[in-house]
């Protein structure tokens, strides 16, 4: 952030601190803007890093196209890719979807379509709990179960 030498001149910090990108008149880059919004909404630093990482992966997956050029179809392709080739868990896939929904939240129409795309994409198979114990003991007698009965 740039204070335009005001502190050096007066020794007093101004009431409003203007980011350097705004003060110089240059438009903010996508990730600068995204980080600013995340911080204003009091998201944790870890969430900020994670969301920015997922958006970078999304952009790279689609050949460095700007997110403004992409829509729900590209989101669905990315999430399906994560499930099939990336072999990620359902929770990881949901985190990627949350990051993309955050990215597109300003565009209500695209946000709704992105949410639908997340519902339509191929989901990762969640872990299945398989009990392999040969028997369960109650008192002095043993009760045996077939694995198919437990599942």
Element at 141 (helix H, strand E): strand 141-144
Of 95, 9, 2, 113, nearest to 55 by C-alpha is 95
Q: What is the mean pLDDT of residues 49-63?
A: 96
Cα–Cα distance measured from residue 78 to residue 97, given in angstroms and rounded to the nearest whole number: 9
pTM of the model: 0.61
43-151: CATH class: mainly alpha
- 8 Å CB contact between 122 and 83: yes
Q: Please report the pLDDT score of residue 26 as a whole number.
A: 79
| pLDDT tens track for 107-136 | 666 667 777 777 766 665 554 333 333 333
> Angle at CA 22, nearest 5°, toward 19 and 28?
95
CA distance 124 to 88: 7
Instruction: Give the pLDDT mean for 63-81.
Output: 92
């Amino acid at each position: 952030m740039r204070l335009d030498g005001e502190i050096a001149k007066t020794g007093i910090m101004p009431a409003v601190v203007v980011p350097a990108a705004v003060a110089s008149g240059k438009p903010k880059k996508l990730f600068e803007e995204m980080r600013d919004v995340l911080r204003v909404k009091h998201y944790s630093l870890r969430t900020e890093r994670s969301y920015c990482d997922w958006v970078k992966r999304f952009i790279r997956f689609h050949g460095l196209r700007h997110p403004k050029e992409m829509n729900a179809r590209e989101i669905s392709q990315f999430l399906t890719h994560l499930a099939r080739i990336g072999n990620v868990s359902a929770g990881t896939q949901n985190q990627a979807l949350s990051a993309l929904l955050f990215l597109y939240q300003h565009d209500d129409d695209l946000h709704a379509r992105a949410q639908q795309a997340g519902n339509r994409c191929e989901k990762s198979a969640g872990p299945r709990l398989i009990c392999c114990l040969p028997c369960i003991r109650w008192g002095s007698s043993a009760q045996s179960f077939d694995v198919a009965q437990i599942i």
